Amino acid sequence: MNATDSPLYQQIAEQIRREIIEGQLKPGDRLPSVRQMTKKWDCTPGTVQHAYRELARQNLVTSRPGQGTHILDEPIRQINPTLKKARLVHQAEKFILEAVTNSYSTKDIEQAFQTALDRWKIASQENENLERTVLQFNGSHDVAVNWIAAHFSSQHPQYEMQAKYSGSLGGLIALAEKKATLAGAHLWDPSSNTYNSSYIQKILPGKKAALITVAYRRLGIIVENGNPLDIQSLNDLAKPTVKFINRQTGSGTRVWLDRKLSEASIPSHLISGFDKEVSTHSEVARQIAEGYANAGIGLEAAALAYGLTFVFLTLECYDFIIPSEHYKEPAVQALLNWLNLPATRASIASLGGYDTQHTGQIRWIE
């Protein structure tokens, strides 16, 4: 039996229970009068009274003559184990929804829960004093980096990778200011048709650094499911019907887009929404999925996560950049060895839109 098949009084009671669980109704709040609920639900007073009696039976509300029906205080509500579990499930669902909107898979979410529980168990042991070495990552947003940060610690609990996304240029600047252990970048140099090397030499002059290929990733135009506006190229972004969502200045995607628009002689002011910026590929996809925009430059992995259509434009190289003084640190070496495992490569490839044939390869810049 689904919700619409159940008796109306149960539907009313269930709606109020849900509002209590979600915190919309708080201890002490007064419920609408029977007359108000009768009008709202288009039912008889007896149906509403039956629903309120059901809620009272479950220790959720109390009714007093002349005072109406009120939500009971928190301690009394907590004696209901069913409600406690329901509230816990609701909190878990909120976390899952947030994680899904940030492009995590159900497998990622399950493993994150397990990792968190494992950490909590460790922290709860009185004699446990495990110190974790933190790898500070700063750079361009990437779905695979999200996955790496979530899974590396589960395989190496003595290490933790903390990710901050400030764009490719922001990541290199963080390295220059010694605010990060490693950065992530995909900065294209059109003069040499290479990624990252020339920018590292400019921002980190005279510094020896290792570039480790995370993956080659498919970049293109993310559009609404089915591509109803028939967007096929950057030229189509200037269509009057297009509502564009952009990446922030300093991101590798924005650097690439600005140069491609210049090469194609497409004035950015002709693209509606060009000044509206977000900081991640996932946010680009979310804006399109929720109808705030209908086109944006982003990763195929982000488009797939939101069920959107993807128009391929280029295959770009995404690298970890690690200064030589950090390269031999145990935590860095553990990360690089783990990145080279066939299982790790296969998991990154399974995200969609990634070519992991060269994952783990190292080249040096001096």
Q: Across-strand partners of 220? A: 298, 312
Residues 117, 329, 349, 294: is their CA dihedral positive or negative? positive
pLDDT tops 60 at residue 92 = yes
pLDDT at 75: 36
Question: Both tokens of residue 167?
Answer: 């764009």
What gap in Å lies between CA 14 and CA 264, rounded to an integer? 58
Domain boundaries, the chain: 3-83, 134-366
> Concatenated DSSP letters for 91-155?
HHHHHHHHHHHTT--HHHHHHHHHHHHHHHHHHHSTT--PPPEEEEEEE---HHHHHHHHHHHHH
Q: Which residues contact 254 (CB under 8 A, 6 or more apart)?
A: 167, 246, 247, 248
How would residue 247 be classed by pLDDT, with cut points 50, 70 and 90?
Answer: very high
State if pTM tops 0.85. Answer: no
What gap in Å lies between CA 82 and CA 42, rounded to an integer? 29
What gap in Å lies between CA 253 and CA 258, rounded to an integer? 9
What gap in Å lies between CA 366 and CA 362, rounded to an integer? 13
Asked if 135 contacts 335 with a C-beta cutoff of 8 angstroms, the reply is: yes
pLDDT tops 60 at residue 3 = no
How would residue 122 be classed by pLDDT, with cut points 50, 70 and 90?
Answer: very low
What gap in Å lies between CA 203 and CA 172, rounded to an integer? 7
**Mean predicted lDDT score pLDDT of the chain:** 86
pLDDT at 17: 81
CATH architecture group of domain 134-366: 3-Layer(aba) Sandwich (3.40)
Task: Report strand pairing: 182-185 vs 309-323.
Answer: antiparallel
Question: Which is nearest to 70 in space by CA: 39, 36, 25?
Answer: 25
pLDDT at 71: 86
Any idea what DSSP says for residue 278? E
pLDDT tops 70 at residue 74 = no
- Over residues 183-236, the pLDDT tens digits come to 999 999 988 989 999 999 999 999 999 999 999 999 999 999 999 999 999 999
Q: What percent of the chain has pLDDT over 70?
A: 87
pLDDT at 81: 52
Give the CATH fold of the 3-83 domain.
Answer: Arc Repressor Mutant, subunit A (1.10.10)
Q: Side chain identity at 237, as an amino acid letter?
A: L
What gap in Å lies between CA 142 and CA 98, rounded to an integer? 17
Any idea what DSSP says for residue 9? H
Q: Which residue has the tokens 């995590």?
A: 104
What gap in Å lies between CA 226 and CA 229, rounded to an integer? 9
What gap in Å lies between CA 153 and CA 134, rounded to an integer? 10
